[in-house]
Amino acid sequence: MRIRATVAVASGALALSALAVPAAQADGGRSWTPDLGMTTPQQAPAKERMAARALTANGDLKITKAVVNGGKPIVVGTTAPKKVSVVVTATDDSGIADVATALWIGSDIEADDSFGFSQNEKKASCKAVNATTSTCTLTVTVDPGWLINSDATTWKVAVAALSKDGQEVDNTAFAKTKLQRLSRLTVNAAPEPVKKGKTLTVTGKLSRANWETGTYKGYAGQSVKLQFRKKTSKTYTTVKTLKTSNTGTLKTTVKASVDGYWRYTFAGTSTTPAVTAAGDFVDVK
């Protein structure tokens, strides 16, 4: 679920407070309204919270590492939600009781322009590395139904940790992760078969997820390589580089010489992952 999130400690357990979910507007924009269906744990008395914070300030509880999706960008298509892991390592002399996380964008996690996705689990799955350090795993589901195209950017990773002796520490921007729009690339070499020395036309299209329409739209003005592999070889060689049209299409001509496979390959951008079309075999007579 798309939320605005903040990290809190309450009654000895970590929780991500659910603050808001999106509501589409008639003008196509987005606004955010309270999620009344989610509950926030009862806050501990102020005296206890202050004591816990004092322990944290003087204690040795530390978050040492947070890795989202195995360190790879999160690539999301048009319809299927993408569940990714968030693996957090924390240490304290008493051991680690729990961790919490959220992925978000905006100027500040509590600002009106900040939005994100919270963890799926109520409690992390923690594995002790030793008496003081644990590696804890959570998952976050990124749903394209809540995304707009400008969300393809760098997201912040909020992390909190709770020690077994009641200390708590949080960092709303402990790490970063990238969110990208899933890409597609096609190729077709024709005619098939073709006579040796004749012209072969190789067409294709580069497109990527448009989260605002739920479709794949051509990616314009991008450099794409045309590659060829002989039937007897396992290695592709770049023949030429061309740019996609304003609708993402590709078209070029080459001279047919030997049997082999033609493909297009795209190196990717910060918002869109690399993609390579499956080779199209052409029989040269």
Specify the pLDDT at position 6.
36
Specify the pLDDT at position 59.
66
For 117-156, the pLDDT digits (tens) are 999 999 999 999 999 999 999 999 999 999 999 999 999 9
Specify the pLDDT at position 165.
93
Residue 50 has pLDDT above 80, yes or no: no
Task: Write down all domains in the chain, each with its CATH number in brackets.
Answer: 2-181 (2.60.40.10), 183-282 (2.60.40.730)
Residue 42 has pLDDT above 50, yes or no: no
Structural contact between residues 252 and 202, judged by C-beta atoms closer than 8 angstroms: yes
Beta bridge partners of 222: none
For 202-231, the pLDDT digits (tens) are 999 999 999 999 999 999 999 999 999 999
